[in-house]
Amino acid sequence: MVRQPVGVVGLGLMGEVLARRLLDAGFEVVGFDIEPAKNARLGTLGGRAASIAELARACNPIMLAVFNTDQVEEVVERELLPALGTGSGRIVMCTSTCDPDRIAALAERVAPKGIRFLETPVSGTSEQVRRGEGVGLIGGDLQTAMEVASVLDTLFPTRFHIGKAGDGGRAKLAVNLILGLNRLALAEGLVFATRLGLDPEAFLKVARVSAAGSQVMDTKGLKMIRRDFAAEGRARQHLKDVQLMFEQARKVGQRLPALEVHADVLEACVRQGEGDSDNSVIVEEIRRRKAAT
C-alpha cells in the first residue's frame, strides 16, 4: 500500500522538529505555516509547502503544531473540515498544549463528520524531541493511535496512551507544572550559589549528582549560567500553559501557590521583552530581584 504524506500545520520550533524527524525517517511531509519563511525552510529540508486545503486532501495523518486551543479549533473546523467534507476518515494529531476540556469537546464534535482526533502532546524541549528523547502523551481512541503507530514511533519512541481525548493534555499540564517549577528552583539556586561566591559551572556539576539533581539541570543549567537563551521552548509559550493550569485548577478547586510565584516571574520576563527567549530566561528575572533593604 502506498503511504500517504504526513501533513504538518505549524512550522515553528516544534513543528519543524517533527517535520525533520519524519523526513529523516523517509516520510513525505507537506507543511503549512502562516510565515512564508518557514514554508521556504521546509523546502530546504526536503518537504513541500502547500495551503491547508491542499495539505488536507493529500495527507493522512495531519499533525497540528500551532500555538493554542483557539488556533487548533480554527484549523480543524474552519480549514480542514471544509476542505475534506464529511466522512473523510482523516486522522488529526494535535501536538499543541491546549485546554483539555475544549479539545475533548472538539474531538466529539468532529467525530460524526469523519475526523478522528488524537491528542499527541510531547513532554520535552524541541532539542530533546529532535534527538528522539521526547515523551508522547496520547489521548484518544487506542485503535486510531495504532493506525498511525509508524508515525508515532518516529516522533515519540517513548510514549504513553493516557486515556480519552483531553487526558493527554491534562497529563501534559501536570507534567509542565512540575517541569516549570524545577526550572524556577534551578534558576533561584544557581543565582544563590553564585552570589555566595561559588563558581556556577562547578556548582552545577555538584548539583547534578546531588539529591537535588534533575533532568532540568542537564537541559537548562548551562543555558542559565551562560545566558544562552536561544529558544528550545519559549517563555511566553510556557506562560500560556501556566494560564491553562490555573483554569483547570479553578475547576477542581485547587490553589497552586508555587505556580503563582512562577507565573509572576514569567509575566515579568514578558514585560521585559523576553517572551520569545528560551524559558530558561526566568533566571534573568531572579537576577533582577533583590532583597528589600
Cα angle value 21/137/231 (rounded, 5°): 55
Whether residue 61 has a cis bond before it, omega within 30° of 0: yes
pLDDT at 233: 86
1, pLDDT greater than 60: no
Query: pLDDT tens-digit profile of 164-222?
Result: 999 999 999 999 999 999 999 999 999 999 999 999 999 999 999 999 999 999 999 99
3, pLDDT greater than 90: no
Nearest Cα neighbor of 94 from 55, 66, 113, 74 is 66
2, pLDDT greater than 90: no
Distances in Å between the alpha carbon of 35 and those of 9, 12, 38, 57? Answer: 11, 9, 6, 21
pLDDT at 204: 98
Query: pLDDT tens-digit profile of 231-248?
Result: 988 999 999 999 999 999
Query: pLDDT tens-digit profile of 96-120?
Result: 999 999 999 999 999 999 999 999 9
Query: pLDDT tens-digit profile of 46-92?
Result: 999 999 999 999 999 999 999 999 999 999 999 999 999 999 999 99
Beta bridge partners of 94: 64, 119
Strand pairing category for 29-32 and 135-139: unpaired
Structural domains present in the chain? 6-165 (3.40.50.720), 172-288 (1.10.1040.10)
pTM (two decimals): 0.91
Q: Work out the average pLDDT over 140-155.
A: 96
Q: What is the mean pLDDT of the chain?
A: 95
Query: pLDDT tens-digit profile of 16-53?
Result: 999 999 999 999 999 999 999 999 999 999 999 999 99
Higher pLDDT, 228 or 291: 228
